[in-house]
Amino acid sequence: MIRAPHIYYEKNNLMVEGVMVEKIINEVGTPAYIYSKSSFIDQLKQLKDAFKDYSAIICYSIKACHNTNIIKIFVNEGCGLDIVSGGELYRALKASVDPRKIVYSGVGKTSREITESINAGILMFNVESEQELERINRIGSSLNNKAPVSIRVNPGVDAKTHPYITTGMKENKFGIDSGKVIDIFRLASKMSNIEVCGIDVHLGSQLLNPKPYGEAMKIIAGYVKQLKDENIDIRYVDVGGGLGISYKEEQQAVSVQEYASLITESFIDIPGITFILEPGRFLTAQAGILVARVQYVKDNLYGKRFVIVDTGMHHLIRPPLYGGYHSIIPVRKKSDVRIKADVVGPICESTDFLGKKCLLEEVYQDDLLAVTDTGAYGIVLASHYNSHSLPVEVLVDGAGFKIIRQKETYEDLLYGELT
Ligand code: PLP
């Protein structure tokens, strides 16, 4: 199944925008992540349109796909960025984002990361604990600066997604418990090197039901009103990311309009609010494919067929990590015959699969397969396990394409090792 309009078949050949995938692979080899620039922009446009009547900043969550070429696409379209580490701050600044559009989330910010972010002049820290708040205040004081913060609330709302990617439930490590929120805002507002400016929530990832956003926003709006009554002025409501995409035929894509209404309706009577959105997956997932070459087709004695390809869990860990599903399609359609097979990689683990019991077109050794919807949480979670190098990354723009990350060499695998 392909949802992205810019990834399609033309005369049985898989195309990304105006370019044949096979042509790209002939040039760059496999495995390869290939992205469609227009798909990124189309997804972004949906969100921009849905929030056009509101004050809102879309801060692309770069953890989803962090190649600086891709970050730049969103920055050039006017986005801010959501970051979670000093490394991501470095990437963000390399992509020439306006630092006043950077929000910094995450439970474990180090002193170095906080210092660098204050010096860069980011829009705000999404603070996740009292100790973090105290640390930011101390560092702000040593830099003679007032650090802008929002408090991340753990609203105790079930995002109804995979348990490994929920973040707003009581047992999750993220945010400040509802019972402590007002007290921590009061504390922050009295700190001399903290400027309280926002409130933040992030429910989890791959939400296909937008209702939990509405539930969380009711809670957040209640806090904003209470804080305003105490003269603690909240200008930014950061709603986090999490908007899901449909990976499977039977999954219904979220209505972006409904998502926007559920977010904004609780704030109708609260003036002066700017919404911050932190989408990752929604912007990038459908824009990417991971192309692999079949190495072997192996049948066992128990009726099982394995299609063994030159990529696997080391390049795309979503299937074994949280049961992520990706449809796997041929780069050139040749046959109407369907087979059932597990598509697996070369890694020495039984968790090394891209898909189980996949219904594929008949495949043969040396065929090319494309794993779809891999533009989010694909390359960014890749590893060098078993000393495999990372895939090349390619960006297609109309009728042209360019390599945006070259394939690693064996020498690259030893980078940083001292002998
Ligand atoms: N914001 C925060 C704080 C996150 O933790 C995440 C992902 O985990 C995101 C945004 C992006 O989420 P998604 O890719 O589901 O939109």
Pair (248, 307) in one structural domain: no
202 lines ligand 1 (CB under 6 A): yes
Cβ of 82 below 6 Å from ligand 1: yes
Q: Indicate whether 185 and 253 sit together in one domain.
A: yes
pLDDT > 70 in the chain, percent:
97
Same structural domain, 210 and 120: yes
418 versus 173: the higher-pLDDT residue is: 418
- Whether 98 is in a domain gets the answer no
Name the residue of 278, 286, 380 to mutate for ligand 1: max ligand atoms within 8 A of Cβ: 278
Domain boundaries, position 27: 7-36+285-413
In a domain, 405, yes or no: yes
Q: Is 201 found in the same domain as 264?
A: yes
Q: Which tokens hold the place of 209?
A: 């039901």
Mark which of 279, 294, 326 sits at the end of a domain. Answer: 279
In three-state secondary structure terms, 346 is: coil
Average pLDDT over the chain, rounded to an integer? 95
Residues 6+ apart with CB under 8 A from 125: 103, 104, 109, 114, 117, 132, 136, 147, 148, 149, 150
What SS3 class is residue 283?
helix
Residue 229 has pLDDT above 80, yes or no: yes
Is the pTM higher than 0.85?
yes
282 Cβ inside 6 Å of ligand 1: yes
Residues 344 and 275 in one domain: no
Residue 411 or 173, more confident: 411
Same domain, 272 and 315: no
378 lies in some domain: yes
The finding on whether 242 has its CB within 6 A of some atom of ligand 1 is yes
Same domain, 290 and 259: no
Residues 241 and 350 in one domain: no
Counting from 1 in the atom list of ligand 1, the atom nearest the Cα of 200 is: 3
Is the distance from CB of 316 to CB of 374 less than 8 angstroms? yes
- Same domain as 306, residue 177: no
Q: In this structure, is residue 53 part of a structural domain?
A: no
> Residue 405 has which token pair?
């990350």
281 C-beta closer than 6 A to ligand 1: yes
Q: Does residue 64 belong to any structural domain of this protein?
A: no
Q: Measured from the CA of 205, which atom of ligand 1 is nearest? A: 15
For 202-219, what is the mean pLDDT?
94
CA 162 to chain centre: 15
Q: Is the pLDDT of residue 165 over 60?
A: no
Domain boundary among 215, 246, 279: 279
| pLDDT value at residue 395 | 98
> Do 290 and 340 have their domain in common?
yes
CATH classification at residue 238: 3.20.20.10
In 3D space, the residue among 309, 285, 213 whose CA is nearest the CA of residue 256 turns out to be 213
Looking at 256, 279, 302, which one is the last position of a domain? Answer: 279
Q: What is the pLDDT of residues 85-133, one digit of tens each?
A: 999 999 999 999 999 999 999 999 999 999 999 999 999 999 999 999 9
Q: Is residue 51 part of a domain?
A: no
CATH number at residue 317: 2.40.37.10
Taking residues 69-77, what's their average pLDDT?
98
Tokens of 268: 């109708």
Inside any domain, residue 113 = yes
Overall number of domains in the chain: 2
344, part of any domain:
yes
Regarding whether 371 and 229 lie in a shared domain, the answer is no
Is residue 159 domain-shared with residue 265, that is, in the same domain? yes
> Of ligand 1's atoms, which has the minimum distance to the CA of residue 152?
3
Report the catalytic residues: 348
Is pLDDT of 228 > 70?
yes
Mutate to test the pocket of ligand 1, among 65, 74, 107, 205 (most ligand atoms within 8 A of CB): 205
Is residue 241 within 6 Å of ligand 1 at its C-beta?
yes
